[in-house]
């Protein structure tokens, strides 16, 4: 029996840093959605637990015990084995939750294969701050250190071009570069009748990590500039702690045309066009 799950890229449409706990963890307030581009995780019954990694973005990713997929498998507490296959299409450490999405997909797949419940919320959070939202797979407001998830209004039809310049942006370094850690949170979330209304509202919000990430990796500014210059782009912003950025579009045609133009101009970058929304809705 093979069980397969899509690990959709996570996109932080906003990311407000609202405080810092005594243990050093930062408090966030973020509008999170998912893109119709991602990795794929499949699992089969086997005598022992084994992970094999392949795909166009698998270089540099090991299948050792520190791999988040294997850590997710261990969190289920089952003595059963499984052959796990990770088909990697998202760039590593890129601000779109690739590892977290893989862990969440592995949890869903193995829970079905082994017929065991998902781990409790605390165990899921220990895997990483983005794992709970990736496991939920819904557009939501993510607060706290990632554990407080509130359903958000459904996104209107909206597409994005995602772009990553393949530069390393260590998340701890970005947080250390913050000018302040007590920014105001988001206001109550409205309903957005269309992509243009969503973009206008997002323009009044922020990714508080973006200026710090640009100081760490100036190439991010070039990505944002190139995305904003694409015909039909409604808004350009960085996701997570970078270096992946996105531009929003009102139609799939505009997004795919923009992605093709950007890829031709920047052949060394990772570029993808995809619809945004709940993971199940946008799954490729």
How many other β-carbons are positioned within 10 Å of the β-carbon of residue 157? 13
Strands (E) located in 63-165: 81-87, 140-144, 148-151, 159-164
Q: Among candidates 86, 89, 90, 117, which has minimal Cα distance to 103?
A: 86
Tell me how far the alpha carbon of residue 31 is from its chain's centroid: 12
Spatial distance between the Cα atoms of 161 and 181, rounded to a whole number of angstroms: 29
Listed as own residue / partner, the contacts of 228-233 with beta carbons closer than 8 Å and 24 or more positions apart are 230/161, 230/258, 230/261, 230/262, 231/257, 231/258, 232/257, 232/258, 233/161, 233/258
Q: What is the largest CA-CA distance in the chain?
A: 53
**49-54/81-87 β-pairing:** parallel
Three-state DSSP at 161 gives strand
In contact, 27 and 21? CB cutoff 8 Å? yes
Three-state DSSP at 105 gives helix
Name the residues annotated as catalytic.
10, 130
Residue 27 φ/ψ, nearest 5 degrees: -95, 135
């Amino acid at each position: 029996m093979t069980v397969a799950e899509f690990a959709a890229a996570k996109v932080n449409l906003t990311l407000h840093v609202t405080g810092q706990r005594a243990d050093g963890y930062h408090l966030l307030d973020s509008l999170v959605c998912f893109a119709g581009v991602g990795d794929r995780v499949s699992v089969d019954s086997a005598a022992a637990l084994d992970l094999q990694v392949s795909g166009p973005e698998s270089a540099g990713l090991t299948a050792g015990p520190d791999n988040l997929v294997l850590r997710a498998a261990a969190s289920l507490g089952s003595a059963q084995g499984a052959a796990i296959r990770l088909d990697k299409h998202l760039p590593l450490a890129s601000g779109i939750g690739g590892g977290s999405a893989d862990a969440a997909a592995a949890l869903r797949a193995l829970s079905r294969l082994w017929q065991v419940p998902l781990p409790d919320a605390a165990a899921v959070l220990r895997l990483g701050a983005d794992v709970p939202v990736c496991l939920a797979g819904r557009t939501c407001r993510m607060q706290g250190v990632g554990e407080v998830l509130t359903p958000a209004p459904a996104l209107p039809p909206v597409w994005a071009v995602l772009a990553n310049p393949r530069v390393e942006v260590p998340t701890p370094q970005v947080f250390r570069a913050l000018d302040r850690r007590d920014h105001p949170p988001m206001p109550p979330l409205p309903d957005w009748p269309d992509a243009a209304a969503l973009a206008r509202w997002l323009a009044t919000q922020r990714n508080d990590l973006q200026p710090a990430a640009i100081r760490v990796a100036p190439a991010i500014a070039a990505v944002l500039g190139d995305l904003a210059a694409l015909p039909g782009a409604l808004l350009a912003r960085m996701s997570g702690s970078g270096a992946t950025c996105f531009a929003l579009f009102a139609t799939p045609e505009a997004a795919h045309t923009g992605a093709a133009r950007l890829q031709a101009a920047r052949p060394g970058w990772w570029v993808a066009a995809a619809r945004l929304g709940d993971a199940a809705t946008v799954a490729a």
